[in-house]
């Protein structure tokens, strides 16, 4: 496998309760390269063979962690790209024309997406090395166009799937969101797009209540009532669908919700074309969520302080919660 660009830092709880190193999937959106060029660079770097699974889909095989996917982030075009065409079929000619028109119209709006398998967390440094190669080859992120809204997403395993553990991560993320968001360099285009909104204020107040430690059914019910959408900076729907598909499907029938036993962190922009940008800084920020979630006493104190801040009304304008987080609630280890 490739040499790590830099050793990744590991979270406070780096292994599951079964003693297995936790895994994290990475999704990275970009344009500036066609799908075959992107596949070739990734395949050489990762030392993996590739397979063509459609006109807009490729697969890299041979990684012990699982297959990597490279695809156009547009479900309709991917489905059209799996269809075989006949040279003498008028209907196929019409579908081909529609397909080409869709490609042209969405060229700057729809990214190619590199999707890793769930990687052991100590392999994350490989992503930074790959990003450097893709940047040198001409890959572009959100800043490459005024209309681009491309992101980088993490799908980290949890140490366990107990309700208290999941609740701790939700609480920690709610408390740190105002600090995380500007550090993720969230572009105006993505702010105006339905991708990664914060939790609603009423739900944040519910989360940070010090006595809020619901059972699984109530935790999912409360989340779905406030957040029946994938448009959240920390999207819990894949995890909750894994835990109770029937409960989630009763609230939202979105076919794009894929059940998996992970968190889905959607906040960071993809700035792959900017020198020095990579996964490391964003991962270090996420580790603050990990550290706060792992320390019950500090988490309770932080929630209490954030709850007090939220009750200040207009006084909040003079009392930056982000500044409070930086002064008091970040792990210094």
Contacts of 66 (CB under 8 A, 6+ apart): 117, 118
188 has pLDDT over 70: no
Do residues 104 and 143 lie in contact, with contact meaning Cβ atoms separated by under 8 Å? no
Q: What is the mean pLDDT of the chain?
A: 87
Q: How buried is residue 154: exposed, middle or buried, by Cβ count under 10 Å (0-12/13-18/19+)?
A: buried
pLDDT per position as a tens digit, 217-233: 999 999 999 999 999 99
Percent of the chain at pLDDT > 70 equals: 80
pLDDT band at 272 (very low <50, low <70, confident <90, very high): very high
Residue 80: predicted pLDDT = 55
Q: What is the pTM of this model?
A: 0.88
3-state secondary structure of 67: coil
**Does the pLDDT value for residue 91 go beyond 90?**
no
Which pLDDT does position 76 carry in this prediction? 47
Quote the DSSP letter at residue 316.
G
What is the pLDDT at residue 90?
45
Q: What is the pLDDT of residues 14-59, one digit of tens each?
A: 999 999 999 999 999 999 999 999 999 999 999 999 999 888 899 9
Mean pLDDT lowest among 44-53, 238-247, 314-323 = 314-323
Q: What is the pLDDT of residues 196-205, one digit of tens each?
A: 899 999 999 9
């Amino acid at each position: 496998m490739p040499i790590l660009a830099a050793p990744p830092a590991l979270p406070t709880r780096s292994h599951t309760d079964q003693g297995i190193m936790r895994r994290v999937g990475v999704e990275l959106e970009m344009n500036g390269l066609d799908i075959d060029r992107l596949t070739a660079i990734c395949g050489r770097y990762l030392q993996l063979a590739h397979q063509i699974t459609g006109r807009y889909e490729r697969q890299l095989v041979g990684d012990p962690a699982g297959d990597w996917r490279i695809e156009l982030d547009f479900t309709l075009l991917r489905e059209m790209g799996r269809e075989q065409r006949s040279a003498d079929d008028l209907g196929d000619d019409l579908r081909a024309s529609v397909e080409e028109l869709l490609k042209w119209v969405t060229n700057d709006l729809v990214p190619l997406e590199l999707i890793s398998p769930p990687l052991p967390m100590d392999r994350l440094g490989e992503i930074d090395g790959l990003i450097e190669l893709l940047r040198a080859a001409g890959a572009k992120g959100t800043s490459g166009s005024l209309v681009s809204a491309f992101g980088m997403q993490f799908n980290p395993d949890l140490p366990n799937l107990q309700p208290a553990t999941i609740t701790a991560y939700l609480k920690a993320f709610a408390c740190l969101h105002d600090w995380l968001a500007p550090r993720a360099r969230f572009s105006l285009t993505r702010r105006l797009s339905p991708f990664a909104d914060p939790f609603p204020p009423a739900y944040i107040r519910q989360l940070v209540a010090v006595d809020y430690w619901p059972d699984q059914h109530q935790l999912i019910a409360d989340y779905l009532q406030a957040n029946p959408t994938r448009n959240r900076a920390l999207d819990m729907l894949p995890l909750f669908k894994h835990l109770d598909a029937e409960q989630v499907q009763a609230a939202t029938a979105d076919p794009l919700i894929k059940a998996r036993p992970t968190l889905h962190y959607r906040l960071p922009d993809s700035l792959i074309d900017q020198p020095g940008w990579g996964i490391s800084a964003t991962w270090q920020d996420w580790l603050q969520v990990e550290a706060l979630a792992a320390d019950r006493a500090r988490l309770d104190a932080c929630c209490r302080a954030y709850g007090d801040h939220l009750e200040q009304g207009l006084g909040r304008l003079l009392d930056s919660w982000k500044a409070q987080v930086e002064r008091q609630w970040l792990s210094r280890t």
